[in-house]
Structure 1
Amino acid sequence: MTCSFLSSNHLASQYAVVVLGLLLMGCKPIDKKDTIVTQKTEPDLAFTCVYEKDTLPPVDPEADIWFKQARELEKVNKYQRDYKQIGVLYRKAAERNHPKAMLNLSNLISYGKVPPIEGKGPAQEVWDIIQKMAKLDISYGYYQMGHYLDTGYGVPADRTKALTYFRQAADLGSPEGQYVIGDIFLAQRLSDKDNPAYQPEIGKKMLACAAQQGNKEAAFTAAMFYKSVEKNFDIALEFFQLASENGHRISASILIDTFKIDTTPKDYYYLAVKPDPERSARYEAIVKEMDASDETAKFPDIDKIMPLPPAELPEWDGTFEYKKQQDNQ
């Protein structure tokens, strides 16, 4: 899901003073009637990159079988999916604390694909599931709690409180949480004032951590910061490449023009690289592939297709690894 907190710069400015304390100090206990996990109480200005996969609790083997069975049922044509059985399998796995089963179940309930349990409304059960995830220190539980507090889904909207959950999610390895908070730290200027939470060194670390976990928006935001603010074109190029690898169309489109012969230092997409029409053409092929896949394609083989300069371009047969993986499933 996409957070609305940063969808408009003026939203952050409304909470600018609170942002500084909450984001830099991490999380504090919020409300006694909230059922909340242990949260930070001491100031912590540092950020250590943690990957989400390394913080997840052990998975029950039988629960994992149910989860995989549900995933197989979801792979059929969307008009033929048996959501009743999918819901049954996810519920069984979720009862044994399977992180991805809890996440997928909560999403299906919120989308109206799976009905809530008897006696509860959709928003109530979804909130119960993500609270359970947070109690288990599953980062996505914190992230979703932040998202629902931000948007007011099932609970009164409270963007200030939402920040504490986004920060906790970030510290537990959530790439989505790292992106949301990292983006705030890199915003030097809000719509009406300087941002008191401007902490670019922390922001860069958070975005890099999220990007390394496959968050394409974090990679793109980092690329733009290095390009436009720090004028570090080499690092910007690396992040544009990483964003393209994970299916970010704008990044790949920028790289098409970056390597064109007629690109000059005055151009928006200038990154001080040697012109290379063949590289440009290969990025164009990637953009076409993104369009053909409704922008769901990812390119784990991008560094084999077009490694960044000064590496020479290898021969390429025009195929993509992600399609080969799909064919083998």
Structure 2
Amino acid sequence: MERKTPTQVGLAALFASLLAVCSNVAVGRESPVATSGIRSDFVCTHDAGPSVVSQDANAQRLFAYARHLDYLYGGRDFKSENVDDFNRISRYYRIASAFGNADATEALRDLQWRLNDNTYDGVISQLRRNRTEEVERLTTLLSQQYPSRGYWFQANRFAQAYNLHEAFILYRKAADLGNAEAQYRLAQYLDVESVVLAKAFGAKAKDIAFALPLYRCAAQQGHGGAMYELAIKQVDNRRYTEAMAGFQQAIMMGENGAAFRLREAFGDKSNWPPSLAMAKDAARYERYEKIRIFLIDERKFAPRVPDLNSIVPLPPAALPEWNGTFLWKNEQLTPSEAPSETLVAQMAKAKRLDARTGLPEAGKPKDMVP
């Protein structure tokens, strides 16, 4: 049966890895599922959060303001002509990161990859060197501030380098520490019905016994992709009431594939996807489609739909009036008070950073300052 791809899956990296693994199988090598030892009982652990117990309140203020600016910027890439916008956002992330804010460290790491050198002519520029160096530094720092996320990022790098054996070991370490993304990814590698074509990695049909606890644990932590996969399995078992509830929860967690499923459940009937025993309902169809588009448009910022039951509750509840807005989006657009320049300067000075950029005072990369 055709499967809808959840938004969380990094298909490019996974399929690149798939080609490498298929090559390995061709020459008789043992599969990474077998060699990595991930076929073992999993005890659900919820992520305990950063290793830094006491989080600095001012650092959180800087992170929140930077994220607000980033959202207003629209998550677009930065080029040489708008590097000032990049610096304006990244300095708050950098200073917050220096005070142990793991969310700022991760956000800054992601921001680096959106800084594009549009003058690139095949020669590695200073900007690219600076970006690579900072990404390396931030990856190491994140491993210290938030170990489960650190293992997750390290695992991704091994996967992208086609080293699935090491990647699986690190995904498992992250999963055991409670990282929901790692739990979900491991479950997909073990689930022969998943979109990652797990059979190619050595998974067997019986490995669903290892995959399901991982899916459930990730879903308990609010992972929309994991909840979506569990709902799909309810569809396969013709447990449509449970599937509908699961898709509804997955949408709340930000999974646009679930919005597609429920949209189709209320649309014109066909052989696929299943109608989930629902009658045609044009109004519900339209609302789920608007929600699906919203989740796709906002995917860079991990959107949620906590107010879903106020927008389109499941039958038999009546469809309420709706003005077309989303609580999550309204919260992102709510003006965030800028931290005072005095506070920023004090925090930067305490960590020996340049208050204009958040970079170290000595040896500032010239291509990344205003």
**2:157 counterpart letter in structure 1:** Y
Alignment of 1:31-110 (within 5 A): 45-51=41-47, 53=49, 57-77=53-73, 79=82, 82-110=85-113
Work out the CA distance in 2 between the residues paired with 1:64 and 1:292. Answer: 26
Secondary structure in structure 2 of the residue aligned to 1:6? helix
Q: Does 1:210 align with 2:206?
A: no
2:318 is matched with which residue? Answer: 313
TM-score by length of 1: 0.73
**Percent identity among equivalent residues?**
22
- Distance 1:134-1:163 versus aligned 2 partners, 3 A rule: same
Alpha carbons 1:249, 1:295 under 8 Å: kept: no
Alpha carbons 2:33, 2:201 under 8 Å: kept: no
2:135 is matched with which residue? Answer: 126
- Distance 1:184-1:193 versus aligned 2 partners, 3 A rule: closer
The unaligned stretches of length 5 or more in structure 2 are: 1-7, 77-81, 118-124, 336-370
Match of 1:244 among 248, 251, 267: 251
TM-score by length of 2: 0.66
Q: Does 1:283 align with 2:288?
A: yes
The C-alpha deviation readout for 1:86-141, integer Å capped at 9, x for no partner, is: 33333332223211121122222344379x999x7533442332233224443221
Alpha carbons 1:178, 1:209 under 8 Å: kept: yes
Return the index of the structure with the highest Cα Rg.
2
User: Which stretch of structure 1 is more off in the superposition, 72-81 or 58-67?
Assistant: 72-81
- Distance 1:142-1:215 versus aligned 2 partners, 3 A rule: same
1:36 is matched with which residue? Answer: none
Deviation of residue 50 (structure 1)? 1.0
Work out the CA distance in 2 between the residues paired with 1:327 and 1:122. Answer: 29
Alpha carbons 1:142, 1:166 under 8 Å: kept: yes
Deviation of residue 241 (structure 1)? 1.9
The structure showing larger relative contact order (alpha-carbon pairs under 8 Å, at least 6 residues apart) is 2
Secondary structure in structure 1 of the residue aligned to 2:269? coil
Alignment of 1:112-191 (within 5 A): 112=115, 121-152=130-161, 158-187=163-192, 190=198
- Distance 1:316-1:106 versus aligned 2 partners, 3 A rule: same
**1:176 counterpart letter in structure 2:** E
- Distance 1:275-1:2 versus aligned 2 partners, 3 A rule: closer
The C-alpha deviation readout for 1:25-63, integer Å capped at 9, x for no partner, is: 7xxxxxxxxxxxxxxxxxx51230414648774322333
Work out the CA distance in 2 between the residues paired with 1:160 and 1:237. Answer: 36
Aligned residues: CA RMSD = 3.9
Work out the CA distance in 2 between the residues paired with 1:7 and 1:162. Answer: 14
The unaligned stretches of length 5 or more in structure 1 are: 26-43
Alpha carbons 1:179, 1:210 under 8 Å: kept: yes
Q: How many residues align?
A: 302
Alpha carbons 1:305, 1:316 under 8 Å: kept: yes
Alpha carbons 2:34, 2:202 under 8 Å: kept: no
Work out the CA distance in 2 between the residues paired with 1:288 and 1:240. Answer: 16
